[in-house]
Every structure is written in C-alpha cells, then in structure tokens.
Chains A and B, each alone.
Chain A
Amino acid sequence: MDRPKTQTILERHQRAEHIVIEHYGEVFNSHAQNFRLQKQNPALILAEKQNRRVIATPAQYETGGGANYYFSHMLNCLYDCRYCFLQGMYRSANYLLFVNYEDFVTDIAAVAAEHKADKNPPWFFSGYDCDSLALEPVTGFAEYFLDAFANMPHAVLELRTKSTQVRSLLNRSAIDNAVVAFSLSPANVAESLEIGAPSLDKRLQAMQKLQGAGWRVGVRFDPVVWHQGWEASYAELVEQVFNVLDASTIDSISLGGFRLPKGYYKTMRKLYPEHWLFSAGLAESNGMVAYETEIEASMFETISNQIADHIATENLFVYYSNELTAENQSATAG
C-alpha cells in the first residue's frame, strides 16, 4: 500500500472503489470465476510479486539474443483477443499489476550480470502475460524499465505489444538495447479476433513513429490464424508492413502458429463453444493443441517467402508448434 506506484495509481483513480485484500490470490485465484463474464468489467488489483520475477523462456524462443528470459509486471490484458492463452490460464480476467518494479529491476540486473561474459546479450521479454504498453498511462511500466535498461547496456529489453501507447517512448531518446515488438494480424483477422485492440493501421502508424524516432522495432505475426482466404490476407499484411516500415531497420520478424496447452484449449472452448477459432484445423500432440502440421507448415512457408522478399532471412524466426511440448509451452498474449 505504501509503495509510490500504489499511491500514484490510487490518486489517479480516486473515484474507484478501493478494496483492501491480504493477498492477491484470494481474489485472482478464487474458484467459480468466469473469465468471459469478468472480462466485461475487470478490476485492477495492485500487488507485490514476491518470487519468480524473472523466468527463463522456453528453449525454442530467441530473436537474436543470447540467454532468453521473460518477466511479467502484470497479468492479464486490456484487450480481449480470442486466441489469447491467458483466458485458459487464469480463472480471473482482473488486471493484476505488480507494483514492486524496483524488485524486478534488481532481479533482472542480477540475471544480466550472470551473462556479462556471454557473446550475445541476454534478452528480457515483457508482454507474455499482458500487453507491455496498453496500460502505460496508468502503470508507467515502460518509462520505468527503459530507464533501468538504459543503465544495463549489456542486456536487451523486448516490449511485446499491440498498443499505440507509445508517447512515453517518443518523449525520450531511443536506446539501443530495447526492441518494441508489435503483434500484427491481417486487418480482417484483427477485427474479428483482437477485440479492443488498436486496428492494424494504427499499430503500423505507431511502429512507423517509433522507427522514425530511432527505436528498434520488431514484427510478430503470432499467432498466424488459419481462415478462408488466409493467403490473400497475409500477403496484404506483409505488403502493408513493408509499405509503412523501413525494412532495413526492422529488428526481427517472427512467425508463430495458434497453439495452446491442451488444458487451456479445453477451458477456452468451454468459454466460447460457438467460436470458429477453436473448431477447425487443430490437432493435439505432446499435450499441446495446435494447427495440424501440414496446415501450419503451409502457412509458414507461404508467409516466410513473402517476408523473405523484403528482409534478410537471418532476421526471420519461425516457431513451429510441433517443436513445443506442454512443459516447454508458449503462446501469444501480447
């Protein structure tokens, strides 16, 4: 309660009902909650993250760094993307913000120090369990962590987002060791599935501004969504991306399929039994539900070829779902 971040947020939301709880788990993990209903009007929970603040990523994941880690200053997202694994992972749709940023930074610095002698810098991903920038006016997350990473030049911060809340980045000088990675989908897919998220055009405009201001920008086609006319949709998306962005300075592009641990898939299908997304082209393997290998391979090959016309292939990373297991799981939130 006494942390400056808590006070700032409470002052900003004076009209909100404040309810004091002992531990966030009492509310966040309580039984009988319905994510779909709660998403209609989520509450903001402020808490401290006590342990496991910095976690190694699944082995497959890398976009040019050395060791890879992720951290989550927040659980759950302002947006309501139908494919998002958070719906399957958490009982609650409330936003859970960990306000002890200084503890995260201490841990990140300690992990980064362990990799000081590595050939490639360690990479710290934000935006697995939330969108890194969507609540920036409330959380001040990017502002705080970019300051911290400015003092850790041997470590890289990747902010995964769909948000156009980039003012705090544009108001400061770009730093070399931060990448702002935007999740992009074709406009029709975004409109259908990424509920509440900025349109593709707006995301591209934000990316263009960041590039213009000297920020490293990444592109994440993740998840690639199988639908009628996907070839045309993704061809148009690739064209739009390279029409707007300077291909020569794009940090990296990655492709990932729609994939979920089986348990999450079952939960999400129960929440949305009527949804087409959970109904076709999927198969279970190694505890994961993902697009059938042939479907995913066909989409990845087609889209990769389109991308390869614009950027060097060493900057293109393709994550095949059949290389994942439930223990080595990952999926897309941001």
Chain B
Amino acid sequence: MSAEKRSNLNILTALHSEAKPLIDRFKLVRAPVTGVQFYRSEQSEMQINLVVTGLGRVAMATGVGWLAARTSGHAAWLNIGTAGHASHPLATAIRVAYCAGEQEQRGHHVPLVADWPGMVGRLQTGDHVCTDYPQDALADMEGSAFFSSAIRFAPAELVQSVKIVSDNVETGVEQLDGTKITEYIAKNADQLSEFAMSLVHLADRLPSYAAQKEAVSSLFSQLRLTHSQSMKLQDLALKQLNCGGNLEALGREVASAENVHSLLKSWQRALSENPPLLRDHFD
C-alpha cells in the first residue's frame, strides 16, 4: 500500500442545503465545472469530492456516474441527506442498513463494517415526496439509486448512506425549508465527519498495487513484447517482489537477458527454486 496517498472520499447529496455544512466542515471549494455542482478539497494525502446531484433517482445515479468517471483510485462513497420517518425525532442521524426502491421486491443490505455509534435503519426510496411514511423505515428519493450505482465502482462496505430525519408525522414535510435542512445536517456534522474518516480508513486497507505495477512495467519499456509476454513478465516480476526480490536486481536481469523467452524461464525457475521470505502480515 502506498504510504503517502490515502483513499478518496466521495460525498453525494441531493440538495445544496444538505451539502452546505459538509462543504464548511471539509473546507471544500467549488470546482469550475459546467452543469454540475462539484466541490472538492485536494489535500496532500486525501481528496474529498462532493457532488450536489439534484432530487430523485436519475439525478443521483447520474451524479455517481459522473464522479466515478472523474476520479481514480480507491474511494469511500457516502450519501448524506435528509429523509422522512414516522416517529423518529427531527435531526436524528440514521445509518442505512437496508435500502429498497418503492416498487422493488428485493433491496440492498448494506455491510456495516465501518464504525457508526448511532442508530441504523431501513430506507425506502420513492419517486415523490412521501407524506404517508412507511412502517419502520425512512423515506427518501435517492437512496436506492445511490447504492445500486455506487457499488459498481467500490466494494459495498465502502458505499454507505446516513440519513437525517427532516420530517415526521408531527412535523410534516410542508414545514421544511433549506435553512432547517442545513441546521439538521449541521447538528450531526461531527458524527458524519468521523464516520466519513472511518470509511476512508477502511478504504485504505484495500491493496494499492498501481505503483508497483508501474515500476515493474518500466523495466520492460525497452523490450518489444506481445501483450501476453508483457502480462507474464509483469506477473512474474511482481511475484518476485512479493517474495523479497528487488527492482534493481530484476532490472539487471532484464538488461542482461538474451531474449524474452529466456527471461520468462529464468524468472519462473527462480520462483520454483527459491522459497519465499517469510514476512509479517500486512493488516
């Protein structure tokens, strides 16, 4: 794993009023992009991206896809927004453990790996503002689209959503406005920020092999190789590095090899003849 570069944090909200406390908390700045409300903070070790997608499932799925296309590397994906619930008090933060679209037979169970000290609950996503609250579930308009699109780009453990209760049977959605939404989210900003960082920490545990692959590929830059030869050499070189070999020695072998076949044979033989160096585990 690369020590200096941490995983990215990708945050998606439907509304700017939901995003505002997060923009302030993470000191994000608006990026000059036409058609998308995109905020970011490019810290030295971690990039935070936030997209305000607009209301509804199509807008959310579009926002996820847009952000995925724009970023690279491992990332934690976090949907933060407001939702209605029949009985929970306003401003209660609830991590989504299960999410289903209104018409869907089967929903998505969210793996709850990263720590969350608060409540967890079910979320039902519909196409309209909900005034007839579902039994024992939050109601929103984006959640199911967020999950189904974001898990195409990251392991499900890194795709999470926290909903803040914005309306209930006592205080209906008609009493809601942007100021109140911002207030409810801001009340939970500390907890949301901690959760986001624990997700990034989790994402950091994914293997980051890009640097090694790049270094190994550079060994062969002077050779004329078929795609298959290139893949085989890269595989064998990486395996040798895993077993205690070093890049310089491999480079010398590449330079002195008679041809590609002899190099392949030599490296294969090395892996068969030299037991690997016992090393401590990585986690």
Contacts and interface: CB of A to CB of B under 8 A. Distances in A.
Given A37-B205, A273-B207, A279 B276 contact: yes
A279 B275 CA distance: 10
A32 B276 contact: no
B242 A275 contact: yes
Contact of B276 (A38, A43, A228): A228
Interface in B31-64: none
A276 B279 contact: yes
Interface in A7-32: 17, 19, 21, 26-27, 30-32
B198 to A, nearest CB: 10
Query: What is the interface of chain B mostly: helix, strand, loop, or mixed?
Result: loop
A41 B281 CA distance: 18
B202 interface: yes
Nearest to B244: A276
Given A32-B156, A82-B281, A276-B243, A37 B206 contact: yes
Given A36-B206, A37-B206, A279-B276, A26 B155 contact: no
Interface string A270-301: 01111111111100000000001001000000
A82 B212 CA distance: 21
Contact of A292 (B109, B272, B274): B272
Q: How large is the interface on A (under 10, 10 to 19, 20 to 34, 35 or more residues)?
A: 35 or more
A107 to B, nearest CB: 29
Contact of A41 (B113, B240, B274, B275): B113
B189 interface: no
Interface stretch (A190-198, A235-243, A319-327): A190-198
Contacts of A80: 283
B243 A280 contact: yes
B275 A226 contact: yes
Nearest to B202: A37
Contacts of B277: 227-228, 276
Contact of A228 (B97, B112, B113, B278): B278
12 contacts: A32-B156, A36-B205, A37-B157, A37-B202, A41-B115, A191-B280, A273-B238, A274-B209, A274-B212, A276-B278, A279-B240, A295-B272
Interface of B: 1, 97-98, 106, 108-109, 111-115, 120, 151-152, 155-159, 202, 205-207, 209, 212, 238-240, 242-244, 271-272, 274-283
Interface of A: 17, 19, 21, 26-27, 30-34, 36-38, 40-41, 43, 80, 82, 92, 94, 188-189, 191-193, 195, 226-230, 271-281, 292, 295
